[in-house]
């Protein structure tokens, strides 16, 4: 679950984004702005943290 | 094909590609060489591209009248604007084609350095209120209308400059101390006309024929 967590967040974000892009009504827009965006951003940040942590462990940083 | 449709198609294509990448990543051994090659695209670049496209859709798509009409509270405003008999400011600008496209956005985006950002923040506030139904009809304008929305077109035109009172109150107009509508009438149907239960409310809420009468 931990290793797939970021992927799941992004996939959920993608589904909501696709709904909004195809049908830009108020509810899909609210879900994109207030749910999908934070989910995708969180997954991206978690990935960057993972990369930085590994680089530190290897002594690159 | 217009630009918005192209962005829509591109958005869906990028999302499908992103989903395929995510599924491929799930099936790959964690931290294997292939995982490390896929992960930057699956977890960073493609998601950020989707966010960029989605936000473009939010910022550009909401400029069209059809976008405003997706919320039913805007129906009376749009119905009145497209009514050739109406004499509100919005209707006069619409029927005379003084503003040919993006009629709502043109008068409500707030001009100036931070104007568009403020308009978007207001849009997010409206979105929250509409989604959670935390509003009451008739909806009312919050804050003070920025005269720059009018002056950006009217300022320095011969017709505007030819009216003596405009010179008398120019500083107050520029400073938003006095509103243009004080002399030029209501921009939209009044609050009492948009109050539920009134006959005018029902009339203003009738569905638009043709989904917007050609408004863009």
- End-to-end Cα spacing for chain A: 28
> In the numeric block, which tokens belong to residue B79?
């119905």
**Which residue among B47, B57, B67 places its CB closest to the CB of A10?**
B47
- How many residues are listed for chain B in this entry? 216
- B24-27 CB contacts, 8 Å cutoff, 24+ apart: B25/A7, B26/A4, B26/A7
Answer whether B104's CB lies under 8 Å from B141's CB: no
Cβ contacts of B131 within 8 Å, gap of 6 or more: A26, A27, A30
pLDDT 10s digits, B40-84: 999 999 999 999 999 988 888 888 888 888 888 899 999 999 999
Determine if the pTM surpasses 0.90.
Answer: no
Q: Does B48 touch chain A (CB under 8 A)?
A: yes
Residue of A nearest to B27 (CA): A4
pLDDT at B206: 83
Domain residue limits, chain B:
3-61, 68-211
Q: Min CA distance, B5 vs chain A (Å)?
A: 10
pLDDT at B117: 80
CB A48 within 8 A of CB B48: no
In 3D space, the residue among A5, A43, A24 whose CA is nearest the CA of residue B69 turns out to be A24
Which helix or strand (DSSP H or E) is residue A42 part of?
helix A37-57
Angle, alpha carbons B123-A19-B137 (nearest 5°): 35
pLDDT for B209 equals 62
User: CB contacts < 8 Å between A and B, how many?
Assistant: 85
Judge whether residue B134 has pLDDT over 90: yes
Which residue is closest to B12 within chain A, CA to CA? A18
Q: Which of B88, B71, B79 is nearest to B201 (CA)?
A: B79
How many angstroms separate the CA of residue B34 from the nearest CA in chain A?
Answer: 15
Question: For residue B15, which residues of chain A lie inside 8 Å, CB to CB?
Answer: 14, 17-18, 21
Instruction: Answer yes or no: do B54 and A7 touch at CB < 8 A.
Output: no
Q: Which of B4, B5, B43, B9 is nearest to B23 (CA)?
A: B43
- CB contacts, 8 Å: B32 with chain A: none
What Å distances lie between residue B161 and B23, B155, B182, CA to CA?
Answer: 64, 7, 18
For residue range B190-211, list pLDDT tens digits in order.
999 999 998 889 889 887 765 4
Q: Which of A17, A24, A43 sits opposite B61 (nearest CB)?
A: A24
Confidence at B213, pLDDT banded by 50, 70, 90: very low
Contacts made by residues B37-40, CB under 8 angstroms, sequence distance 24+: B39/A47
CA distances from B66 to A59, B72, B96, B216 (A): 55, 11, 19, 6
User: In this complex, do A21 and B22 lie within 8 Å of one another by their Cβ atoms?
Assistant: no
Q: What is the pLDDT averaged over residues B122-147?
A: 90
Minimum CA–CA partner of A54 in chain B: B31
3-state secondary structure chain B: CCHHHHHHHHHHHHHHHHHHHHHHHHCCCCCCHHHHHHHHHHHHHHHHHHHHHHHHHHHHHCCCHHHHCCCHHHHHHHHHHCCCCCCCHHHHHHHCCCCCCCHHHHHHCCCCCCHHHHHHHHHHHHHHHHHCCCCCCCCCCCCCCCCHHHHHHHCCCHHHHCCHHHHHCHHHHHCCCCCCHHHHCCCCCCCCCCCCCCHHHHHHCCCCHHHCCCCC
Residue of A nearest to B40 (CA): A47
Q: Does position B106 have pLDDT exceeding 50, yes or no?
A: yes
Q: In a 10 Å sphere around its CB, with 0-12 CB exposed, 13-18 middle and 19+ buried, how is residue B38 labelled?
A: middle
């Amino acid at each position: 679950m931990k290793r797939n967590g970021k992927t799941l967040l992004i996939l959920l974000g993608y589904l909501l984004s696709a709904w909004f892009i195809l049908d830009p009504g108020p509810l899909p827009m609210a879900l994109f702005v207030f749910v999908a965006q934070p989910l995708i951003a969180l997954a991206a940040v978690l990935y960057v943290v993972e990369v930085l942590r590994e680089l530190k462990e290897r002594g690159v940083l | 094909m217009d630009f918005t449709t192209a962005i829509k198609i591109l958005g869906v294509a990028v999302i499908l590609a992103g989903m395929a990448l995510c599924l491929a990543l799930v099936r790959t051994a964690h931290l294997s060489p292939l995982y490390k090659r896929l992960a930057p695209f699956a977890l960073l670049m493609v998601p950020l591209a989707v966010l960029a496209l989605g936000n473009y859709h939010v910022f550009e798509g909401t400029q069209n009248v059809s976008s405003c009409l997706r919320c039913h509270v805007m129906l009376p405003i749009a119905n009145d604007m497209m009514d050739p008999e109406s004499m509100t400011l919005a209707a006069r600008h619409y029927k005379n084609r003084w503003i040919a496209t993006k009629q709502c956005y043109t008068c409500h985006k707030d001009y100036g350095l931070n104007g568009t950002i403020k308009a978007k923040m207001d849009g997010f506030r409206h979105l929250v209120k509409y989604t959670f139904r935390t509003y009451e009809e008739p909806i009312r304008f919050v804050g003070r209308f920025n005269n720059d929305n009018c002056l950006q077109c009217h300022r320095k035109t011969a017709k505007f400059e030819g009216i003596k009172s405009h010179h008398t109150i120019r500083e107050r107009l520029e400073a938003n101390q006095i509103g243009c509508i004080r002399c030029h009438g209501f921009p939209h149907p009044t609050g009492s006309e948009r109050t539920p239960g009134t006959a005018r409310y029902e009339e203003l809420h009738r569905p638009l024929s043709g989904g917007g009468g050609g408004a863009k």
